[in-house]
Every structure is written in C-alpha cells, then in structure tokens.
Structure 1
Amino acid sequence: MAYRVAKKPTFTIKVVVVEPGDADSGEVETSEFTGRFKRVSDDELVEIRTSGRSDKDIMREMLVGWADLTDENGAQLPFSEQFRDTLLSIPHALRGVAYAFMAGASGAGLKN
C-alpha cells in the first residue's frame, strides 16, 4: 500500500488494560478495546510531552471515541464525555489509554 501524506484527523488503536483480578491465584486481568484518538503533528506531540499536563487531562482531549467497550452487563458503551471521564478515572484504564495514544501518535511499539 502506498503511503499517503494527507491523513484523517483521527486514528484508531487497540487499548490494553491490565489490572489486578479478584481470583485467589492473584493473576491479573487483561482487557482490550479500540480507542479513537485525535491525530497530532510532531510539534504537537512534543508540546504534549513537555507541557507538564496530567495524563488524564491530555487523554480527556485526545480520546474522542471507542469501540468494543462494555458496561458491567456486557452492553456496548456509547462514547460520551461522561463515560470518557468515568473510564479515565480508573488508574489502570488511564494508563492503557495513555500508552495506546503515545504508541499510536509516535509510532513507538507499532507492528505490521
């Protein structure tokens, strides 16, 4: 596939959330969903990295949608600012979202 310089204003990438489980074995639970993020330029990425802003504040701006994120009953959770803020208030989810954004925005850790 030929590389296109013009890009859509957003990109999607898998978000992996790893958190302690509740099994007696002490194993962690790994979940995933697809996050949709604002695409940023190299200069914008440098500004984000050096801004001193919290991950939560940055992700509130950059996370603009998702797929395959469910509620406690397994129903698909529609994207909204309220649900976004609820998701980002969970430390393990925030870490997964921030890692996915940085990997997608910078190309670090991407595989074919």
Structure 2
Amino acid sequence: MAFKLKTGPITAEATITVHHPADGEITFTGKFQILKQSQYQTLVQGKKDDFQIIREVMIGWSGVTDEDGRDKPFTSDALSELCAYSFVRTGIMRAYTDLHVGLSAPKN
C-alpha cells in the first residue's frame, strides 16, 4: 500500500483510558483533530495547562454518560465538566499524543 500524503485536515478516533481513583480503569472514545507539527508547536507555546490544548484538539466523543447512564453529548460545557479532574485530562492527552506522533493506530 502506498503512503498517501494528506494535505487537508485529519481527524481520528482513539480509545481514551482513564485511571479513576475510585472506579479503576475506564475507557471511552475520543475524536480528535490531528494537527501538523508546526500547528501543534504554536498551540502549546503559551498554553498554561493541558486543558487549553484539549479544548483545541478534542472534537467529539462516544461512551460518556451522565450519572443516570444517559449518553452525555459532547459540548464545550460537558468537556469542561469532564476535565475537572487531572486524571481525566491525563488520559485524554495520552490518547491524543499517541495519535499525534503515530504511536497508536486510530480506532476503527
């Protein structure tokens, strides 16, 4: 198979693993915009924390529910709520970084 150089936007899904201190290992699927290296460098320069980066690269999810088990739609407010804990942000950043640098295949 030949390598196709994509010049347009790239999006990919990845399994996000969260190590919850009370509930153990939990997974859900995140959808990300994969930035070119120059775009990523510009993004991370001047950012004070990982949540600012997550807001720019995460564009959707599946497998996230509210406390009653109903699907939680992806919104800016829901993302803020989800990322209130560092252990969640760590899982998201690990999944994105693996996609960004080519360490993991996208979720099919």
Number of residues paired by the alignment? 104
> Normalising by the residue count of structure 1, what TM-score does the alignment of the two structures yield?
0.80
After the TM superposition, list the runs of 4 or more consecutive aligned residues in structure 1 that deviate by more than 6 angstroms.
none
Alignment partner of 1:67 is 2:54: no
- Partners of 1:47 and 1:103 in 2: how far apart? 19
2:16 aligns with 15
Structure whose CA Rg is larger: 1
CA displacement, residues 37-86 of structure 1 (integer Å, 9 cap, x when unaligned): 1120121233344x141101110111110011111122111111110111
Q: Summarize the alignment of residues 1-112 of structure 1 with structure 2, pairs less than 5 Å apart.
A: 2-6=2-6, 8-21=9-22, 29-49=24-44, 51-53=45-47, 54-108=49-103, 110=104
> Which residues of structure 2 form unaligned runs of 5+?
none
Cα shift at 1:2: 4.4
- Partners of 1:111 and 1:81 in 2: how far apart? 26
- Partners of 1:68 and 1:4 in 2: how far apart? 31
For the aligned residues, what is the CA RMSD?
2.0
| Aligned partner letter, 1:34 | T
Contact 2:9/2:33 (8 A) holds in 1: no
Q: Secondary structure at the residue paired with 1:66?
A: strand
